[in-house]
Amino acid sequence: MNLIKSFSKKTVSFLALALLLFPLNLLAQNPPAAMADKFRSDGKIYIVILVIITIFIGIIIYLFSLERKIKRLEREQNK
């Protein structure tokens, strides 16, 4: 802890920023995914996107219904 206090705020900020941005350079060097290219060339990427969106909408609907049930139970408990 004393080591951090001895550094100036600028030095600590610079090191933190450098450590956060370093992995971005490594991610930029990855080759493209062959599976995504295959789906895109076959036109099946739209099916994959549709399934992901459907699952996401289902999760959102479930969370809203769960929230309504919890609110109802809280109101009943407070009476």
- Residue 12, C-beta contacts closer than 8 angstroms, at least 6 positions apart: 4
What mean pLDDT is reported for the chain?
80
For the CA atoms of 44, 47, 48, 51, the dihedral, rounded to the nearest 10 degrees, stands at -170
Contact 71/63 with Cβ under 8 angstroms? Answer: no
pLDDT of residue 27: 61
Q: How far is it, in rounded angstroms, from Cα 75 to Cα 10?
A: 51
Question: pTM score, two decimals?
Answer: 0.52
Cβ neighbours of 48 (radius 10 Å): 13
What radius of gyration, in Å, describes the C-alpha atoms of the chain?
24
Assign 24 a pLDDT band (cuts: 50, 70, 90): low
